[in-house]
Structure 1
Amino acid sequence: MAGALTQFGRRFRAGVLAFRSYEAAGTGRRWRGASEIPHQGAAMTAARGPIGRRARALVANNSLAASGVEAWVSNIVGAGIKPQSQHPDPAVRGAIIAAWDRWTDQADADGLADFYGLTAMVVRRMVVDGDVFAAPTLDGAEGNPLRDRLFDAEQVDPLRFQVLNNHTGRVVAGVEFDDRGRRVAYHVYKERPEFNFWGSLATVRIPADHMLQVFKPEAPGQVRGLSWLAPILLSLSDFDQLADAQLMRQKIAALLTGFIINESGDASPFAGDPSADGSAIDSGLEPGTLKVLSAGQDVKCSATPRRSARKASTSFG
């Protein structure tokens, strides 16, 4: 019995040593406070909402984020997919190309863009929001009835989690699966978010063969897409605030040309509220301003940063 315990102890110690041979699996001081992701799929489903909202706001207000997204769109879709018929008959080939050109002008069911603009919009929303949905509809003009309607990622109910049919099906973030894990339907808000003035939560069930979900799969069993900006979102947000603070600091520094010390001591340094001991400045500053200081008063300004915001943005890029 003692021999068996000794052998077990040796094996256990060997396993611990093997575990510790990977620095990334260590538990020392350097790893204290490090974040972990126990389950990739669950983490992506839970994080996609906040990440998507923050990514949309950053792209709308930050030039670096906006230009990065446009670069992705340009590299992925470019001028658009332009198929060319290979039919041997030139007449038939010309007719097919002409029919395609006629259809591209009315491909968007919302009437916002042609087919090429539609594909660029799909890629842009996939990059920023994580995923985008498209459904074909037959409400087009006679002769070319097929059109595509895009759905915002948030229109597919991200809060719908449900067990169906006696545990033989489930709904995860608005996506319905059968008992074999296959996508069978999407639960979509009846009203678009921008038109839902009454906050209606009514949804419609659209079969999976009538809806196309476009996203970049990164993990087995992934349900919803994740914004491509996720890895840089926090750093880019911090840098955006840094650049804004640096710009404001440089603007303030440029306003004050210098200070004049009044030896007589009968001048107020700044026009302010006397009841507040001059602490509230009610006079504005303009470029080239000279301010008068009373006798015995001095101003110490913090050192101007050597690196400008423009240089910082260059190094960041």
Structure 2
Amino acid sequence: MLKKLKSMFRSRTPPAENPVRVIGRFDAAQTTRDNIRHWAMADYLSADQEANPEIRKTLRMRSRYEVANNSYAKGLVQMLANDTIGTGPRIQLLTENEHYNDEIEREFMAWAEAIRLPQKLRMMRVARCQDGESFAAMVTNPKVNHPVKMDIQLLEADRIAGELQWKNDDNSVDGITYDDWGNPVSYRVLKYHPGDEKFSTVWEAFHIPAEYMLHIFRADRPGLHRGIPELTAALPLFAQLRRYNLAVLSAAEAAADFAAILYTDAPPDGEAERVPPMDALELERNMMLTVPAGWKMAQLDAKQPTANHAEFVKIILSEIARCAVSTYGSVSGDFSGHNYASGRLDNQLYHKSVLVDRAFWESEVLNQIFAMWFREYSLVNPTGEFRTPRHTWFWDGFVHVDPTKEANAQQIRLANHTTTLAAECAKDGRDYMSVLRQRAKEIKLMREYGIPVPGEQPASQPTESEEDSQQQENEKDE
């Protein structure tokens, strides 16, 4: 049977007289005279070698320089920190014991205020964008005004460095030691910053176990262990924008230095009075001036700023905004060219990236901080629990451009049970239990003072006939 099938298929296949070989090509993989210079800097380095210590040092220095001297770069990193961290995350425990939840939440927020946790988180967000990575050590600080003496000490990326050697061993990458499964084991921290006057060539350092260290960066390639600035792709654009603005200003100032110029249409050796070339004459205000015969007076046309100056700035800022997953309106702080719909769309795109980043902060930073804090709190104030309780985080909410529409949509979602009060309060950065408790107090007080409660039908007053009938019934009962 198998031989019969093979013979049938063989008989139906026509013989190929001239077989044609098909070769697929990618235009981007071709190297030609036109594109060879464009792709000259492409390399085949690994993620860590591409971001080796010297490269990261150069990028950090240039990024810090731009942030310090470019108002758009400064505003961008501050905007990311303010929008992502805001006034700071708040914790909400999810156990069944509400009294226990309130106690832990209250103590953790008191500790966070004592160590200025929101401020440190914002600084870490700035460092992650500007330097590419941020480090923080969980240490003991006896000066903390709380029973839990744990503190968060921020460290600049320059202080985490490896030994002075040409190659690291297989389990370390520039100051970070890993185990065989890729988990960080310890961090080598320099005693002083390499740019500090106290720093010496001895490179004094100490090691911090990984469980007490927070290290955050955006890994754009698998196998990358140290981060590069998030502004890396935009650094040349920042430089171009500053150079262009300075060139426009310089040209306008040079043109403004000439109050007026004398020129003649007469040919060389024509009939015109002789005027010394490049001679300067100081002009007085509100004076009448005569010019030599054959000469005319005019002002220098500055041609600055050029007609497309504003458009050039907008295009550059729009390109810069993409490296931060943002938009032109958010980076420039200018929504004058937007209508209501485009302004909302800009905010939605940017807010989506902020929400994703907040999830990263919860998993990589906040959960570790709370786990370490709860362990210390359980030792200071024994609660019978040593395992980190189930919890969640909520952040500052985003202000809606049309509060009325948002409130109506919120009411509809609650009415058809597609959301919960906890979820809606979390969007505004509030704890639903605190909202309910406060609202219950207000309603009780309003009823006590006879103030109508919104959404509640007022009690109807009994009519005279109803009062008489009620009185007769009372007399019969007596």
In which range does the TM-score fall when normalised by the shorter chain? 0.7 to 0.9
Q: Which runs of 5+ in 2 are unaligned?
A: 1-18, 264-271, 318-478
Q: 2:77 aligns with which of 69, 72, 77?
A: 69
Distance in 2 (alpha carbons) for counterparts of 1:294 and 1:161 = 77
Distance in 1 (alpha carbons) for counterparts of 2:188 and 2:131 = 18
1:252 aligns with 2:277: no
8 Å Cα contact 1:163-1:170 kept in structure 2: no
Distance in 1 (alpha carbons) for counterparts of 2:243 and 2:62 = 14
Distance in 1 (alpha carbons) for counterparts of 2:217 and 2:291 = 63
**TM-score, normalization by structure 2:** 0.51
In structure 2, what is the equivalent of residue 240 of structure 1? 242
1:94 aligns with 2:95: no
> Higher strand proportion, which one?
1
What is the letter of the counterpart of residue 227 of structure 2? G
8 Å Cα contact 2:258-2:299 kept in structure 1: no
Identity in percent: 22
In structure 1, what is the equivalent of residue 174 of structure 2? 173
1:151 aligns with 2:155: yes
In structure 1, what is the equivalent of residue 34 of structure 2? 30
Compared CA separation, residues 229 and 198, structure 1 to 2 (3 A): closer
What is the letter of the counterpart of residue 304 of structure 1? K
Shift of 1:133: 0.7
Compared CA separation, residues 81 and 56, structure 1 to 2 (3 A): same
Aligned partner of residue 307 in structure 1, secondary structure: coil
What is the letter of the counterpart of residue 145 of structure 1? K
In structure 1, what is the equivalent of residue 45 of structure 2? 39
Aligned partner of residue 31 in structure 1, secondary structure: coil
1:83 aligns with 2:91: yes
Aligned partner of residue 144 in structure 1, secondary structure: coil
In structure 2, what is the equivalent of residue 315 of structure 1? 315
Aligned pairs, how many?
A: 281
Distance in 2 (alpha carbons) for counterparts of 1:311 and 1:95 = 56
Distance in 1 (alpha carbons) for counterparts of 2:77 and 2:158 = 19
8 Å Cα contact 2:162-2:174 kept in structure 1: yes
The answer to which of 222-231 and 93-102 deviates more is 93-102
Distance in 2 (alpha carbons) for counterparts of 1:287 and 1:83 = 69
Compared CA separation, residues 311 and 202, structure 1 to 2 (3 A): same
What is the letter of the counterpart of residue 38 of structure 1? Y
Shift of 1:66: 1.5
Shift of 1:101: 2.3
8 Å Cα contact 1:155-1:192 kept in structure 2: yes
8 Å Cα contact 2:162-2:188 kept in structure 1: no
Structure with larger Rg: 2
Q: 2:66 aligns with which of 46, 52, 58?
A: 58
Q: How does 1:1-317 map to 2 (within 5 A)?
A: 17-18=23-24, 21-33=25-37, 34=39, 35-41=41-47, 42-45=49-52, 47-107=55-115, 114-140=116-142, 141=144, 143-157=147-161, 160-161=164-165, 169-193=170-194, 195-200=196-201, 201-260=203-262, 263=273, 265=275, 269-270=279-280, 304-305=303-304, 306-307=306-307, 309-317=309-317
What is the letter of the counterpart of residue 100 of structure 2? V
Compared CA separation, residues 266 and 243, structure 1 to 2 (3 A): closer
Shift of 1:233: 0.9
Compared CA separation, residues 296 and 187, structure 1 to 2 (3 A): farther
8 Å Cα contact 2:192-2:199 kept in structure 1: no
Shift of 1:222: 0.7
Compared CA separation, residues 244 and 293, structure 1 to 2 (3 A): farther
Compared CA separation, residues 130 and 96, structure 1 to 2 (3 A): same
Shift of 1:146: 0.8
What is the letter of the counterpart of residue 154 of structure 1? D
Compared CA separation, residues 22 and 303, structure 1 to 2 (3 A): farther
